[in-house]
Amino acid sequence: MPFAGLNLIGSRTLVGTDDAWTPMVVRAGGAVVNVALNAALIFGLDLGVLGAALGTVLANVVVTATFALGLVRGRVPLIGAFPITLDPLGSYLDRETMFRVVRVGTPMIGKNLAWRLGEFPLLAIVDLFGTAVAAAFVIALRVRDLLNTPGWGFGLASSSLVGQQFGVEDEGTAEAYGREVIRFGVAVYLVSAVLVFAFAEPIALAFVDRASPSLPIAVTLIYATCIGIVFRGLSRTSIGPLRASGDTRWYPTRPRGARTRDRYRDARPGDG
């Protein structure tokens, strides 16, 4: 997990500089390394589950080392140049920065923790309806995750674009970016939902047999997923601009910087 966390930070750092291609190549390469190591350790050395665990850890180490090399040297063989570099001997214990990271990150940590913990009672409730319903519910979750894939990219794009404009104090362009990404994201989710809704039964048949009692339940839950995913897309793309403005809190408020800028922008000459 420490390596996975560093990989996530390295990836988001590059995305913030408008370079989403490099982290995609690095992390996709790590997935390929993971598969290759698992095959060698599980089947070649006959290590079983231990081999799978070692392969996952080593793949994360490789990805972390690649990010570290690129951020320090400025480029990585076969991948290319990195848009930014870091001084490995520099000072990183800045109290103000650490406070801002904790202040902005804590609500997101709480949200993710609540979401993950909530899955346990949710699955327990679904299991009360029997194995067929539980299987159908898991199928619908997998379909939802696939439909939600664009949201990761749109959320990162919106937070990156909006955050960069906030950085140069161009709030008008930041607002325009936020609105356009939300509109585009919702449109993509809507089209995807319509397509999956039309082919709900063939999609469910990819997971279960036609004679399975889970099939009609899975189809119904996929229909519900298609309706709900449009609103999830709206939520997913709306979160990006809020993160970019530093507003990750759970109650509606305007970022402190925006209030300050508005106060100066609205003041007329001579008001003091």
DSSP track, 156-206: HHHHHHHHHHHHTT-HHHHHHHHHHHHHHHHHHHHHHHHHHHHTHHHHHHT
Mean local confidence (pLDDT), 243-258: 61
Q: How far apart are CA 231 and CA 38, in angstroms?
A: 38
Domain edges within the chain: 2-81, 95-266
- Considering Cα of 203, then 207, then 210, then 211, what sign does the dihedral take? negative
Interacting residues of 91 by C-beta distance below 8 A, sequence separation 6+: none
Please check the confidence at residue 38 and state whether its pLDDT lies above 80: yes
Q: How far apart are CA 256 and CA 165, in angstroms?
A: 16
Q: What is the pLDDT of residue 271?
A: 40
Q: What is the pLDDT of residue 227?
A: 92
Mean local confidence (pLDDT), 230-238: 82
Confidence grade of residue 184 (pLDDT, cut at 50, 70, 90): confident
Q: Which residue has the higher pLDDT, 18 or 222?
A: 222
pTM over 0.85: no
* Bridging pattern class, strands 80-81 and 75-76: antiparallel
Mean local confidence (pLDDT), 62-81: 91
Would you state the structure tokens that stand for residue 207, as one six-digit string?
């997971």
Taking all residues of the chain, what is their mean pLDDT, rounded to a whole number?
A: 84
User: Percentage of residues in the chain with pLDDT exceeding 70?
Assistant: 91
Q: What is the pLDDT of residue 263?
A: 38
Q: What is the pLDDT of residue 31?
A: 92
Q: Which residue has the higher pLDDT, 93 or 219?
A: 219
Please check the confidence at residue 182 and state whether its pLDDT lies above 60: yes
Mean local confidence (pLDDT), 56-66: 94
Q: Which residue has the higher pLDDT, 104 or 84?
A: 84
CA nearest to 155, candidates 9, 7, 16, 1: 16
Confidence grade of residue 251 (pLDDT, cut at 50, 70, 90): low
Mean local confidence (pLDDT), 127-145: 91
Please check the confidence at residue 269 and state whether its pLDDT lies above 60: no
* DSSP H helices in the chain: 2-15, 21-38, 49-73, 95-127, 131-147, 149-167, 171-198, 200-205, 214-244, 256-266
Least confident of 30-34, 48-52, 99-103, 140-144: 99-103
Q: How far is CA 155 from CA 97, 230, 233, in A?
A: 23, 14, 9
Residue-wise pLDDT tens digits, 139-165: 999 999 889 888 777 777 777 788 888
Confidence grade of residue 93 (pLDDT, cut at 50, 70, 90): confident
